[in-house]
Structure 1
Amino acid sequence: MLRTSFVRTARTLPTRYTRVALAVQRPAISAAVRWNSNQAPASGKSPKTPEELAKKAAYEKHNDLQRDWDAKVLSYEELLPKTQSPTPSTWLIDVREPDETAQGMIPSAVNIPLSVLANSLALPATTFKEQFGFEKPKRSQEVVFYCRSGKRSTTASDVAKRNGYTNILNYTGSWLDWTEKQSSKPSA
């Protein structure tokens, strides 16, 4: 009996100490694994095929677009003068669907639904004019996007940037903000 208990104790002692030692070292091991997992692969292999190079270039372009996002956000007070005295160099584009524009539009705005915006901005100027009935905005002209609540106009700003437009403004208050401010404005 004494012999059996001695053997059992001898078997469990190293296991207990091993568990304690591992428990003490576990945070250090976890930190090392996390640190190493954030490092670049050590293989040093660079993409060689044209497909891999194209994927890498597209990925880098996407990251550059995200890094240098610079669409200025307009407030109601900044947009109001643009609607009261529109200029040919500024475009106010409503990206809501045509059935939504039946509620009304901001004065001097034109409608290009978000669902067709990307394809429309890629059209030649003559085809664009035939399809929409007005001139296509030039890539350097000021373009202001709005929608119902500001989400689609943000997407439209991104689409315009990807199509080469450089002077992009986003009225994030959009139609809801416009109607609220117009209804609370004292009538003259």
Structure 2
Amino acid sequence: MSESRNLLSLIYRGVRNSLFSSDHKIMEATRKSVHHSTLPKDVSYEDVKKVSLENCEVLIIDVREPDELKETGVLPGSINIPLGQLESVLKDVSNEHFYATYGKEKPTQNFPIIFSCRSGKRSASAQAIAQQLGFKRAHNYTGGWLDWEEKSKS
């Protein structure tokens, strides 16, 4: 019984690593073909909408608490990392764990990230944290969810 469990564990790890590796190669090829250096440090509704609609290689991180997301909704294509967890996730979580948890590849220090929250204040703090950790392309959606909700209705 123990041998079969070990064998299944080895097979699972091999398949998972293989899938992660091939996804990683695809993402790297896509990253090289898409350039987003034109995003300003503070981004607008139009910038976020364009990134969402064009399925660009920009990671959108909503730093609100999960209960807030349930009450209001989420930005298309975003992942949720509450502000209080952001620094440890960006510093300490392995690439594999990040991918398993969020379904997205962990950003490198040169990968563009847009931070969002309810109104732009917590996302400004998130941007500052990321910049202190060496992330060179950290952006703040200054209008946040309130701006998104208002403008996406029209």
**CA positional deviation for 1:171:** 0.5
2: distance between equivalents of 1:86 and 1:110?
14
Which structure ranks higher in relative contact order (CA pairs < 8 Å, sequence separation ≥ 6)? 2
**CA positional deviation for 1:80:** 1.4
2: distance between equivalents of 1:108 and 1:132?
11
The equivalent residue for 2:82 is 113
The equivalent residue for 2:122 is 152
2:67 corresponds, among 87, 99, 107, to 99
SS in 1 for 2:140: strand
2: distance between equivalents of 1:144 and 1:134?
14
**CA positional deviation for 1:163:** 1.3
The equivalent residue for 2:44 is 75
The equivalent residue for 1:173 is 143
Q: Which runs of 4+ in 1 moved over 4 A?
A: none
The equivalent residue for 1:67 is none
| Structure exhibiting the larger radius of gyration computed from Cα positions | 1
Identity %: 41
1:85 corresponds, among 51, 54, 59, to 54
1: distance between equivalents of 2:100 and 2:144?
27
The answer to whether the 8 A contact 2:79-2:102 is kept is no
**CA positional deviation for 1:134:** 2.9
**CA positional deviation for 1:82:** 0.7
The equivalent residue for 2:22 is none
The normalised TM-score by structure 2 is 0.68
Q: Residue type matched to 2:61 in 1? A: I
**CA positional deviation for 1:84:** 0.8
Q: Residue type matched to 1:93 in 2? A: I
SS in 2 for 1:100: helix
Alpha-carbon RMSD across the aligned residues, in angstroms, is: 1.4
1: distance between equivalents of 2:59 and 2:104?
11
Q: Deviations over 1:94-118 (max 9, x none)?
A: 1111111112111111111111000
**CA positional deviation for 1:138:** 1.5
Q: Deviations over 1:128-186 (max 9, x none)?
A: 23443432112111100000011100000011111111011110100001101112x1x
1: distance between equivalents of 2:115 and 2:106?
14
Q: Residue type matched to 1:98 in 2? A: P
Gaps of 5+ in 1: 1-70
The normalised TM-score by structure 1 is 0.57
